[in-house]
Structure 1
Amino acid sequence: MELNETKNSAIKFRLARVLGLSDATFIGVGALLGGGIFTLTGLALSYAGPSLILVVILNGIIAFMTAMAYAELGSSFPEAGGAFVWVRKGLGNLSGHITGWTSWFANAVACGLYSLSFSFYFGFMLFSVILPALGISFSFTEGNAFQKLIAIAIILLIGWVNYRGVAGTGKLGKIIVYLEILVLGIFIIFGLTSFFEKPDLQTSFVPLFPMGLFGLLSAMGLMYIGFEGSEIIVQSGEELKNPRKNIPRAIFFSLGIICFLYLLIIFSALAGGPSWQVLSETGQGALVKASNFFMPGLEWIIIFGGLLAASAALNATIFSSSHVSFSMGRAGTLPSFLAKVHPHNRTPYVAVIISTILVILVAGLLPLKEVAAVTDLLFIFLFIQLHLALIALRKKLPDTPRPFKMPLYPLPSLVAIVAYGILIYQFSHVSPVGLAIVLLWLIAGFLVYFSYSKPVEIEKIGKEIFFEETFRTTERKADRILLPIYPDTNWKDLLNLALVFAKQKDAEIFILSVRQIPLPLPLIAEEEEIEDDKRFLEEALNLCKDCGVNVHAVLMTSRSISEAIISMIQREKPSLLLMGWKGYARLTKAGQKIFGRDLDIILREVNCDLIVTRLEQLNDLKTILLPCAPGPHLRILGQTAKVIAEAFDSKIKAVFVTTKREAEKSDPEEKLNQCVSAMEIPSQIPLKTQVLYAEQSSPRDIAYQIVQESQNHGCILIASARTRLFHEMIFGNVPEVVTRNSTCSLIMVKSQRAILRPLLSFIYGKLS
């Protein structure tokens, strides 16, 4: 039986690898040059004045931190879609959708910005150079109808180039960027010559901060689009030759080229041209004004360079915008027609057409300053998500090959996140309208996700199911327990434990068995495998017939066991996930043990109560060691202890571990009694309490006392530690050490209300 994917569909979605290192580098350089120098220098000078040089340095440092994140993720996961794919892997479907939605609009708005810049320089060339040379005089003002029409015309032209194919795109981009660098080189030579002829640093650079810190931060925010090119490079991952090596190289090459050019250009304009006040009054024409000062009669060269810069940036951003929407269409978070690939050109032609239309609307409706603010805010939000995804993926997929790894991880990501937060706050003063537009777009993204994307995700689950059977002995129950089980495991004891919880909670059991089929194989289940799996589930159903519990069994195929379980949780919304665990899988490359990739992912992604068991035999539940400490999991810890004790006539010993020094500050017996009281274990259950004393308060010493005490018990029932943002292990230090070193049966519990993901994923999870 073949499900979801076929050989033909796999070919249909494959993109051609035709781009080399130089193509990717110049795609990035083209976007960077169009974004900052030619378009926004005058606007940024009105805020920063001569400190615009410092703006370049500070933005370059922040951009370098983000470039490292792009280099690591782009070389590790070289797929079309870039940040959308990574955030989806790291922070979940909702976060991924919002990131892709943001990236799509960010590149479209940026493209609108560059189209307005192109039309400005085109109008300047026509009405200030060509027509006057012919003796014809017309006035040209920024933002008139002529400029809008030219902007739309160039958008259509660049869209057609991307429709035809990225091979032509790369060749066109390289030619444009070579010419740009030549033009800027001429500008730098004339500017530096003018400065050395009459050096006057006092006039050119004093006062350095005319508007103080406010002006510096405002200019950093407005100019930051001039440092955004990494996303565009990684969008070409599926079409780039040797992407694992070439993506990091292209990212750092393009950023290095840009920072060097920016510093020379701004110094040349300020030191060799008129005062910064004069330049700031000319808006997009700041470089033209400077060139008119120190290379009179040749300012047309800079106008031509502005046209080239805007053309390259248009090319790069339409390319990126269309590839994000293509990737989202392929993933099912946007309509699937966006994932269509042209049979001859091998390009995502529908995505290119729709992205081109979106760019036309932006260029036609929004003024330049607000377009710039919206673009910067969208990319800043995207970069924050990117850094959070990097941190999450380091934890979730530690064994993924990483040709490039961020040095000093996670410090660069944390510093970048703080810096971006400051810039966002500054935009609330610089462009409240732009901030409002971004918020409206994000709200629209949430609406699209809940009205379209999420139902499509749930519908996909049904296509992966090829056997489903229900056995009912009573009316349908609202409460459900999800129980993944597999042959060749201790699944019968696990099923009996699930029946105990189902009777106590008056719940149904939802048995899930997953047939995992790895890539690149198609999702095909052999008939013999299907029959074996059916017999296994039928055996499980037969064991439940006389238990008075409704049981629903599902057999599904999936690329990943963890994804299958998480998808089923989204569909069935159980209150409890009960699953078995064989023990630690292996050592990671860092020398650290992990629970196993699938379980690691499940622990971070589930939005229901969770019980994980390492059960040798049911008789081990006769004597239970119950380590307890104040925390968010006491509720589920007490409920679990109560259910097991009543079903297996268990004897429980609750322990609290402290040190002699801490005991002198606060009464440990009182803390232990408070924990026992919070767990609400009935008085008829045999329960003893004891305070254990460790030599030190380190997690290892505390865990050692628990492990030593567990030698007199059949099972440890332990709660997750209080989770913290960016914490290394999902169960915290003490439970992790106990789990690793104990030899008896073990049950770990985690309350839904205590699951804390990286910041934005956590917020989205609460909304969903």
Structure 2
Amino acid sequence: MSAGDRAPAAELGLLDATMIGMGAMIGAGIFVLTGLAADIAGPAAILVFMFNGVVTAFTGLSYAELAASIPKSGGGYAFVRETFDDLPSFLMGWMLWFAYMIAGGLYALGFAPNFLELLHVYGLTAAPGEVGAVAVPAVPVSIPASVGLALAAVGLLVTVNAVSTAASGSAETLFTAVKVAILVVFVAFGFLSAGGGGETSFTLQQFDPLFPEGTSAFAILPAMGLTFIAFEGYDLITTVTEEVENPRENIPRAIFYSLGATVVVYALVVVVAIGTLGADGLAAAGEAGIAKAATSFMPSGLPIIRNGGALIVFGAVFSTLTALNAVVIASSRVAFSMGREGQLLPRFGRIHHRYGTPFVAILVSAVVMLGSVVLPTESAGNVSSLFFLLSFVVVNAAVIKLRRERPNMRRPYEMPYYPIPSVLGIALNLLLTGVLVVYLVRTDPLALALSVGWILAGVLAYYALRARGEGSTPERRGASDAEPSGADAPTDTSNAEGGVD
């Protein structure tokens, strides 16, 4: 077996895998989306995040069962590839690849203003809105400082990922631990401010009534659809399955640990933010809402971190970096898996002979990610949410199809009360998809146009690769091991050769 065809090395432990999921979920969304949810649903924003956690849990059970049964890198694409025909599986990978890449562009753009604000807090730069363009060396052009920082962040993390899987995993673990610690401090100070008597002290009276006059309980649904991306991230764990030690056990555990911890963190942060500022105040503050709440109840003059607002900005920098690093990992592994299966050019599916990483897949994914920073932020986020919802529907369907066609397949983890979680996952994700599409028709037709355009481009790419003879795929294990007798399918391909010639 050549160096380019070797399998990825298992260099990530359970903690690393868990932190990849948490790093993606507890990203910029906790700062940006809380205000959006409060604006739409009022104090019931707390229900928005809790219900999204429940909806996500149903699909999380499907991911856990499939990851334990099919320990292959590529996430949802790898599962659908094992279960469905060529074109549906290609489109699944094509959508996920794009969703991860443009999510990376969003996280990079979110990192820039937070980093500039952090520098401003310490008097090193002017306020983010006052920082001008930066001249590019050796080229007679200038670019906005925010764009330059976004490009630099992507470049740095892509370099780390390209040269070492272990280094990227360690960075994700460290950064995620830091930001979770910051949010725990925020929640603790918020609850301690209760009973202080000040205008910005925490009080549960801000939630009474939960649905103020003029706010309908149905407002929860569009708020759920628009903030669902906040819980996209546990699925990233399954994109690195072959790089995790003992994946049949550790991947399901990492999914449950990361999802459970994230739901708790989101719920506590939203409760403190609304309990301090009120739903209207949080909505009016927008992206600065969490920082405003922290400034109101945390002491000033703290060592190194000057005040609560500065602490939250510090946390936002780490949040965007961990989320960005997670999608750099995920997008490249989807492309790697597609290349190895023959559904992208073969070089995508090869491991670098020196670094032991899917080098080409990482670099190409980075190029698209860098290009996506020019997309309108809101539209790019909506496309990501739509594609993730659609992919979750298909993954839930894959569990049902695989159970019917291969009942005796080895399943180290089986979801409880099958098929109820998968059916509920399909129904609820379809409901949110429909609500989101209706909302986008009215408010963001560009997002729908981008979504349709990317899918059509995928169909063209699929048939173009087949016409060139590079889209003919190796025989899939799912087709070869589904004996009429229902024998246990030998799907443990964690040590399978990667690469297609």
The structure whose residues are more often helix, as a share, is 2
If you compute each CA radius of gyration, which structure gives the higher value, 1 or 2? 1
How many Å apart are 1:432 and its aligned residue?
Answer: 3.2
Check 1:130–1:61 CA distance in 2 against 1; reply closer, same or farther (3 A cut).
same
Aligned counterpart, 1:306 = 316
Contact 2:112 2:146 in 1 (8 A): yes
Q: Is contact 2:335-2:348 (8 Å) kept?
A: yes
Residue ranges of structure 1 left out of the alignment (5+ in a row): 1-6, 462-557, 567-583, 590-596, 598-768
In the aligned structure 2, how far is the partner of 1:8 from the partner of 1:375?
Answer: 36
Aligned to 1:160: 159
SS of the residue aligned with 2:193?
helix
1:448 and 2:461 correspond: yes
Q: 2: distance between equivalents of 1:143 and 1:309?
A: 25
One-letter code aligned to 1:247:
I
Q: 1:322 to 1:586 in 2, by over 3 A?
A: closer
- The superposition leaves residues 301-334 of structure 1 with CA deviations (integer Å, 9 ceiling, x where unpaired) of 1100000011111111100000000111111111
Instruction: State the AA in 2 paired with 1:21.
Output: L
Distance (Å, rounded) in 2 between the aligned partners of 1:45 and 1:460: 48
Instruction: Confirm or deny that 1:278 pairs with 2:278.
Output: no
Q: Displacement of 1:194 after TM fit?
A: 2.0
Distance 2:324 2:478 in 1: 42
The yes-or-no answer on 1:173 pairing with 2:165 is no
377, 383, 386: which is aligned to 1:377?
386
Q: What is the CA-CA distance between 1:372 and the residue it aligns to?
A: 1.9
2:129 pairs with one of 127, 140, 149 = 140
Q: Contact 1:107 / 1:321 at 8 angstroms: preserved in 2? A: yes
Aligned match of 2:449 in 436, 442, 446? 436
Structure 2 letter corresponding to 1:353: L
Deviations 1:64-108 (A, max 9, x none): 111100100011111111211211221211111000001101111
State which of 196, 208, 211 in structure 2 corresponds to 1:208. Answer: 211
Output the TM-score relative to the length of structure 2.
0.86
CA distance in 1, matches of 2:72, 2:486: 28
Q: Which has the higher contact order (CA 8 A, sep 6+)?
A: 2
For 1:41, which of 34, 39, 43 is the aligned residue? 34
Residues 1:78 and 2:67 aligned together: no
From 386, 391, 401, give the equivalent of 1:392: 401
The secondary structure found in structure 1 opposite 2:226 is helix
Is 1:240 aligned with 2:244?
yes
**CA-to-partner distance for each residue in 1:350-408, whole Å, 9 max, x for gaps?**
11111111111112x12322222111111111111111111111122222210111212
- How has the CA–CA distance of structure 1 residues 157 and 415 changed in structure 2, closer, same or farther, with 3 Å as cutoff? same
Which structure's residues are more often strand, by fraction? Answer: 1
| Per-residue deviation, 1:559 | 7.6
Question: 2:431 corresponds to which residue?
Answer: 422
Question: Which ranges in structure 2 are unaligned for 5 or more consecutive residues?
Answer: 134-143, 301-306, 490-501
The correspondence for 2:371, drawn from 361, 364, 376, is 361
User: Does the residue aligned with 1:456 lie in a helix, a strand or coil?
Assistant: coil
- Counterpart code for 2:176: V
Task: Report the aligned-residue RMSD.
Answer: 2.6
Amino-acid identity (%):
34
SS at match of 1:274: helix
2:108 alignment partner in structure 1: 115
Partner residue of 2:192? 193
SS of residue paired to 1:195: coil
State the alpha-carbon separation in 2 of the partners of residues 453 and 225 from structure 1: 33
Q: 1:349 is matched with which residue: 354, 359, 366?
A: 359
Q: Who is 1:184 aligned against?
A: 183
1:248-301 C-alpha deviation (Å, 9 max, x unpaired)? 000000001111111111111111x22222221233222112112222533111
SS in 2 for 1:56: helix
Asked if the contact 1:184/1:305 (under 8 Å) is kept, the reply is yes
Deviation at 1:455, TM superposition (A): 5.5
User: How far apart, in 1, do the equivalents of 2:473 and 2:78 lie?
Assistant: 18
Indicate the SS of the match to 1:197: coil
Aligned to 1:346, what secondary structure does the other structure show?
coil
Counterparts of 2:368 and 2:246, CA distance in 1: 32
Q: How does 1:14-25 map to 2 (within 5 A)?
A: 14-25=7-18
Equivalent position amino acid for 1:298 in 2? G
**8 A Cα contact 1:374 1:438, kept in partner:** yes
Structure 2: which amino acid aligns with 1:399?
N
Structure 1 residues 275 and 587 mapped into 2: Cα distance closer, same or farther (>3 Å)? closer
Q: Is the 8 A contact 1:205 1:270 kept in 2?
A: no
1:510-549 matches, cutoff 5 A: none
Q: Which runs of 4+ in 1 moved over 6 A?
A: 141-144, 558-561
Give the superposition deviation at 1:204: 4.6
Structure 1 residues 141 and 185: CA distance shift in structure 2, 3 A: farther
| Separation of aligned partners in 1, 2:296 and 2:377 | 25
Deviations 1:112-133 (A, max 9, x none): 1211221121122233x123xx
Corresponding position: 1:228 with 2:232: yes
**Rounded Cα–Cα distance in structure 1 between residues aligned with 2:182 and 2:258:** 17
Partner Cα distance (1:288, 1:449) in 2: 46
CA distance 1:15–1:344, change in 2 (3 Å): same
Matched with 1:401 is 410
In 2, distance between residues paired with 1:407 and 1:374? 32
Report the residue type matching 1:121 in the other structure: N
Residue 148 of structure 1: how far off its partner (Å): 2.0
Moved more, 191-200 or 82-91: 191-200
Structure 1's 174 and 270: CA in aligned 2 closer, same or farther, altered over 3 A?
same
Q: Does 1:101 align with 2:94?
A: yes
Partner of 1:130: 122
How far the C-alpha of 1:142 sits from its partner, in A, is 11
Cα offset, 1:35, TM superposition: 4.9
Q: 1:319 aligns with which of 323, 326, 329?
A: 329
Q: Distance in 2 between matches of 1:200 and 1:77?
A: 48
**1:335 match:** 345
Return the match for 1:292 from 291, 295, 299: 295
- Cα deviations across residues 510-549 of structure 1 (Å, max 9, x unaligned)? xxxxxxxxxxxxxxxxxxxxxxxxxxxxxxxxxxxxxxxx
